[in-house]
Amino acid sequence: MLASQILSETPYQLIAGELNEEIFRIQLNSAKVEKSDAFVAMAGSHSDGHKYVEGAIGNGASLVLVEDGQTVWTREQLTDMTSGRKTAIVSVPDTRKAYADLSCTFFGHPSEKMNLIGVTGTKGKTTSTYMIQEIFEHAGRDCGLLGSVENRIWKDHHEWSSHTTPEAWEFQELLHTMQEHNVQDCVMEVSSLGLKFHRTRGVHYKVGIFTNFFLDHIMSGEHADEEEYFACKMMLFDSCEMALINKDTRRLNHVLENAGRCEQVYTYSIFQDADFMAKDITSKVQDGTPGMQFTLVTPTYSQEIFVPLLCDFNVDNALCAAASAYLCGIGKEAIVEGLSCVYVPGRMEKIRNPLGLHVYVDYAHNGDSLRVLLSSLRKFCKGRLITVFGCGGERSQYRRSGMGESSARYSDYTIVTSDNSRSEPLESILVLIKEGINKVEGAQYEVIEDRREAIRKAVSMATADDFVVVAGKGHERTMEINKVKFEFVDSDEVRKAIDALS
């Protein structure tokens, strides 16, 4: 595509060069720029991409986008950089928005030719998207999935994810590839940062789902405060045909007010009257698998549902999935079958084993998530509830004391260990976790810094009546300590620990 064509839907001012060169890719990293690439300079929280414009041009960029008002280079300096080169430089009002617009243009706006379902909210995004994808597959509709665990591009083809919501170029390329493989439906997690940084700009959603709103992701590099976090979440409704809202969420009235921008608004709830409801909720073992059973109530029928995941919050997720499938025209048979066999890596993932031990791996990585998880499991645990967790470094410090207190209050025994401490000293993380634990009088705990050893200890001390929960990392496939990243998968480590006992 010519530079003039890729800019055809974006306002710009030409600073230097001509827009007659072919563009094959758009890059944000100047070091990856090659001939016929476009480079978009963005000012980030840690570095300003405008500093690397000269390097991108030197690597052969055919087009460079800079932002109006940037102060790194003068117009004359930019013009001089292109002397003797086939590079065009344009200035745009907002390079982040332009990056998304150019990506949409290059790939031909694939979302407009698909049934795209977007799920946002503080909790429940991953589990809900897996449930929705499973329902669509049981309806005979090949459904893509984009999220924090993996990207399923077409049937039996997936890639591990690096971001919950991909950057705009990767995102549009994934949708385009799905279309090439005749995938007409896709469900995706839409993170607040994905919305904040306009990664989903220009995308059309058939259904936009809001699961809930809790105080998280408020820290340097993410969101300044609750209002900014909430406002970013609400951006989802700028481009949805239908909105599906959890009526049990905090700030419901504000959510519904924003959802009013959509053509149609529907609600779901496990506690109160709504368009879609879950009633008669109970735990059940079906075909040897423990889970939750409930009656799904829709505008046109009621249907008994079983989902092989424990805890009321998974009924909430299943209701969300069933409601969205209903709105997309999926029949109740596919909803029943899809939910009855759903599996979500790292989300209430029960590790099957020959010893009959109850061991779960979950992504709960803040106080609220851990509290909800443990208090829900407590209802089913006949013995001790043993929890293993750590907290990530260079992330919200409120999570540390919160997780410590939640584990101490709802577990019988806590093993505090490492997580992704990154470049932060583990001891500084442990101090705050212990502060939370010490808020609960008589709490039983120990610290085992090596996460592998901590998991082994928890598994070795468990009986058939106990529940072991390994929390914090869930689906993650690596761990980073002292800036060194290495492979570490909680579910794999649990299986190794169990094998050692067999």
Q: How far apart are CA 476 and CA 283, in angstroms?
A: 28
Percent of the chain with pLDDT over 70: 99
| Residue 164 predicted with pLDDT over 90 | no
Query: How many other CB atoms are there within 10 angstroms of residue 284's CB atom?
Result: 13
Confidence grade of residue 80 (pLDDT, cut at 50, 70, 90): very high
Measured distance CA(257)–CA(249) in Å, rounded = 13
Question: According to the 3-state scheme, what is the secondary structure of 129-140?
Answer: HHHHHHHHHHCC
For the segment 303-314, the average pLDDT, to the nearest whole number, is 94
Is residue 423 within 8 Å of 389, Cβ to Cβ? no
Residue 216 has pLDDT above 70, yes or no: no
**Interatomic CA distance for residues 362 and 155, integer angstroms:** 26
Q: Cβ(445)–Cβ(413) under 8 Å?
A: yes
Percent of all residues in the chain with a pLDDT value above 90, rounded to a whole number:
88
What mean pLDDT, rounded, does the chain reach? 95
Is residue 180 scored above 80 in pLDDT? yes
Q: Region of 329 please: left (phi>0), alpha (psi -120 to 50) or beta.
A: left
Q: What confidence tens digit (pLDDT) does each residue in 440-479 have?
A: 999 999 999 999 999 999 999 999 999 999 999 999 999 9
Q: Calculate mean pLDDT across residues 358-374.
A: 94
Helix (H, G, I), strand (E, B) or coil at 10: coil
404 or 369, which is more confident: 404
pLDDT above 70 (res 321): yes
Which of 125-139, 208-222, 256-270, 302-316 shows the lowest mean pLDDT across its residues? 208-222
pLDDT at 120 over 70: yes
- 3-state SS record for 19-52: CCCECCEEECCHHHCCCCEEEECCECCCCEHHHH
Look at residue 221 and tell me whether its pLDDT is greater than 80: no
How confident is the model at residue 218, as a pLDDT? Answer: 67
**Mean pLDDT to the nearest integer, 235-240:** 96
pLDDT of 38 > 80? The answer is yes
Task: Count the residues in the chain.
Answer: 502
Supply the pLDDT for residue 356: 92
pLDDT score, position 217: 67
Task: Please give the domain boundaries of the chain with CATH numbers for all domains.
Answer: 3-105 (3.40.1390.10), 109-340 (3.40.1190.10), 349-501 (3.90.190.20)
Q: Map 200-221 to HEC letters.
A: CCCCCEEEEEECCCCCCCECCC
Please give the single-letter amino acid code of residue 375: S
Specify the pLDDT at position 502: 80
- Region of residue 360 (left: phi > 0; alpha: psi -120 to 50; beta: else): beta
